[in-house]
């Protein structure tokens, strides 16, 4: 398989404040994120050859097609593609942009992820799948099944899950763009209302509005735009079954899509999990962060919870996980989350994250997993040699 390693550079990133953005439309979020990325890259919008927009749930305000980006940004006469791939929507949009540049089809490409989840007619996220078995289930309920299996298998208590929330809220409290900028204690997490056992309120990421953007170009042109470009080392997508509950070999201890995407991304980048300096992973629930770091290969299956207990995943620890605050604190506007992770990773590599800065970061990873573990995308970014 041919690798895109070092062929594509990120030259600009932008992000809105995440939260309950009732006073902003979908188009407002697109424009704010995109123009922040334009400013960051120091480019004129006319330079953009093509664009990708990531939105999971389109509705009246936008997200249905490429026009959701073309109209607010006046990107007419150029290809604009909408991407939707469960919670991997944003990272997959970024991956497609990288492939378009690496192929030589386009020179400079814009990626925007945006979502309006708060002020919409329907409540919650619509379920897909079996016409009977999908009735009445929810994202917390499905992930809770896996969390219970894991906790039973490895003898893990809710206190360990709570420590993930404490860590990510500590990080998010130091992030001015995060939805939930508040610290919590283990006691507060354990005392919160139960959502789907073992997940209480503070074990679940919030429903959030927000937008994020990134601009990529051919690596050899990157220095035309800025002196400190970030290189794309690998970007891989993997899909597994959307009905793992019908597979008698599925153990619910992790997700095969993440395992496959991570293997492919590391192979593209020519590095190992031990080379990564920090990671933004998909902590839609506290247990999911633990499972993800195992599936990606940072530690063995059944060891991730020990890393949490030992403080290895904190800023200053062996491998900081979610220094942004993660989905848990930053929020999860589904189409925007993956691009927001790219935003965080790029700024960490540039040394622009203040109190949350991971010192000496040179190689970083962003990861999303969506559906019932059905689809995963892993992106590896790094500094030029």
| Domain range annotation of the chain | 8-118+205-382
How sure is the predictor about 189, in pLDDT bands with cuts at 50, 70 and 90? very high
Percent of the chain with pLDDT over 70: 96
pLDDT (0 to 100) of residue 60: 74
Our answer to whether residue 87 is catalytic in this structure is yes
How sure is the predictor about 128, in pLDDT bands with cuts at 50, 70 and 90? low
Compute the average pLDDT of residues 40-65. Answer: 93
With a cut of 70, say whether residue 98 has pLDDT above it: yes
Spatial contact of 255 and 316, defined as CB atoms under 8 Å apart: no
How sure is the predictor about 133, in pLDDT bands with cuts at 50, 70 and 90? low
Sequence-distant (≥ 6) Cβ neighbours of residue 300 within 8 angstroms: 294
Q: Tell me the angle at which helices 89-102 and 334-350 cross, rounded to the nearest 10 degrees.
A: 60
Q: Where does residue 246 rank: exposed (0-12), middle (13-18), buried (19+ CB within 10 A)?
A: exposed
Q: Average model confidence (pLDDT) for the chain?
A: 95
How sure is the predictor about 123, in pLDDT bands with cuts at 50, 70 and 90? low
Model confidence pLDDT, tens digit, residues 110-119? 999 999 998 8
Give the separation between CA 364 and CA 217, rounded to whole angstroms. Answer: 19
Residue closest to 15 by CA, chosen among 334, 329, 340, 333: 340
Our answer to whether residue 204 is catalytic in this structure is no
Residue closest to 366 by CA, chosen among 242, 256, 237, 254: 237
More confident residue, 278 or 61: 278
Catalytic choice (87, 98, 204, 299): 87
Give this prediction's pTM: 0.97
Q: Where does residue 374 rank: exposed (0-12), middle (13-18), buried (19+ CB within 10 A)?
A: buried
- Sign of the dihedral through C-alpha 55, 57, 58, 60: negative
Residues 91-130 as b or e (16 or more Cβ within 10 Å = b):
bbbbbbbbbbbbeeebebbbbbbbbbbeeeeeeebebebe
How sure is the predictor about 129, in pLDDT bands with cuts at 50, 70 and 90? low
CATH topology of domain 8-118+205-382: Peroxisomal Thiolase; Chain A, domain 1 (3.40.47)
Catalytic choice (169, 282, 332, 367): 332
Give the separation between CA 363 and CA 276, rounded to whole angstroms. Answer: 5
pLDDT (0 to 100) of residue 209: 96
């Amino acid at each position: 398989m041919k690798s895109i390693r070092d062929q594509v550079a990120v030259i600009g990133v932008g992000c809105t404040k995440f939260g309950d953005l009732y006073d902003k439309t979908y188009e407002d979020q697109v424009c704010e994120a995109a123009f922040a990325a334009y400013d960051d890259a120091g480019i004129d919008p006319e330079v953009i050859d093509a664009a990708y927009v990531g939105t999971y749930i389109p509705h009246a305000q936008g997200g249905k097609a490429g026009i959701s980006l073309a109209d607010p940004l006046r990107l007419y006469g150029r290809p604009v593609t909408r991407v939707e791939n469960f919670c991997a929507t944003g990272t997959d949009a970024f991956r497609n942009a990288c492939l378009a540049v690496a192929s030589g089809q386009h020179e400079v490409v814009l990626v925007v992820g945006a979502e309006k989840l708060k002020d919409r007619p329907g409540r919650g996220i619509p379920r897909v799948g079996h016409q009977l078995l999908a009735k009445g289930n929810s994202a917390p309920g499905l992930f809770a099944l896996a969390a219970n299996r894991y906790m039973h298998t490895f003898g893990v208590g809710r206190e360990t899950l709570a420590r993930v929330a404490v860590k990510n809220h500590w990080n998010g409290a130091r992030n001015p763009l995060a939805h939930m900028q508040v610290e919590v204690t283990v006691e507060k997490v354990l005392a919160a209302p139960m959502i789907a056992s073992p997940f209480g309120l503070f074990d679940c990421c919030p429903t959030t509005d927000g937008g994020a953007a990134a601009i990529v170009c051919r690596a050899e042109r990157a220095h035309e735009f800025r002196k400190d470009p970030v290189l794309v080392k690998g970007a891989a997508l993997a899909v597994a079954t959307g009905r793992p509950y019908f597979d008698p070999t599925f153990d619910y201890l992790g997700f095969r899509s993440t395992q496959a995407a991570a293997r492919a991304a590391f192979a593209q980048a020519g590095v190992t999990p031990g080379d990564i300096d920090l990671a933004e992973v998909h902590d839609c629930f506290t247990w999911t962060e633990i499972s993800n770091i195992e599936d990606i290969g940072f530690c063995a299956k059944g060891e991730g919870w020990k890393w949490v207990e030992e403080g290895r995943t904190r800023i200053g620890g062996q491998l900081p996980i979610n220094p942004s605050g993660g989905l848990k604190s930053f929020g999860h506007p589904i189409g925007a989350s993956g691009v927001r992770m790219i935003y965080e990773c790029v700024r960490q590599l540039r040394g622009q994250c203040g109190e949350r800065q991971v010192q000496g970061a040179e190689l970083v990873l962003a990861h999303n997993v969506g559906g019932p573990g059905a689809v995963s995308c892993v992106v590896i970014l790094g500094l030029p040699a």
